[in-house]
């Protein structure tokens, strides 16, 4: 197994990578370039979503189509070494429901969604990018 110096980052999908339009795929909100940059900087991304079955596969395909390598989906494979907990362990969680995550609205999306310009700014300020 390769040694990583970066963080494990759990990333929600609906309202975080795309606008809220579940069960459909939402609109682009600028997540892909920032997520690619995270991976390029040695961080590992876990897709952390309530989507399942065909809908989960659509989310996974979104990552593939955008050139973002996933570390895993809804689990951290390393945590089995030290816990039996089902909660996904990550160093950082990016989710539209997380306190402190910058959010945006537009005329077509009813619910707020992640502001990736703001997230990137936070990541740069903290030295993760």
At 48-81, the pLDDT tens digits run 999 999 999 999 999 999 999 999 999 999 988 8
Region of 61 on the Ramachandran plot (φ > 0 left; ψ -120 to 50 alpha; else beta): alpha
Q: In this structure, is residue 42 part of a structural domain?
A: yes
Total number of domains constituting the chain: 1
* CATH number for 91: 3.40.50.1000
Residue of 20, 27, 79 lying closest to 51 (CA atoms): 20
Contact 95, 115 (CB under 8 A): no
Give the domain extent around 112: 8-125
Q: In this structure, is residue 3 part of a structural domain?
A: no
Please write the tens of the pLDDT for every residue from 101-116: 999 998 776 899 999 9
Q: For strand 113-114 and strand 103-104, is the pairing parallel, antiparallel, or unpaired?
A: antiparallel
pLDDT value of residue 2: 47
Instruction: Give the sign of the dihedral formed by CA 107, CA 109, CA 110, CA 113.
Output: negative
Q: In this structure, is residue 1 part of a structural domain?
A: no
SS3 of residue 18 by DSSP = strand
């Amino acid at each position: 197994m390769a040694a990583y110096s970066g963080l494990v980052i759990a990333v929600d999908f609906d309202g975080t990578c795309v606008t809220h339009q579940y069960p459909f795929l939402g609109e682009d909100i600028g997540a892909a370039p920032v997520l690619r940059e995270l991976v390029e900087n040695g961080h590992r991304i876990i897709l952390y979503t309530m989507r399942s079955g065909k809908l989960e596969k659509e989310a996974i395909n979104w990552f593939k189509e955008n050139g973002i390598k996933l570390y895993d989906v809804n689990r951290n494979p390393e945590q089995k070494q030290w816990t039996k907990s089902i909660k996904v362990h990550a160093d950082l969680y990016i989710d539209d429901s997380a306190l402190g995550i910058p959010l945006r609205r537009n005329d077509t999306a009813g619910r707020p969604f992640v502001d990736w310009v703001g997230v990137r700014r936070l990541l740069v300020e903290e030295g993760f990018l």
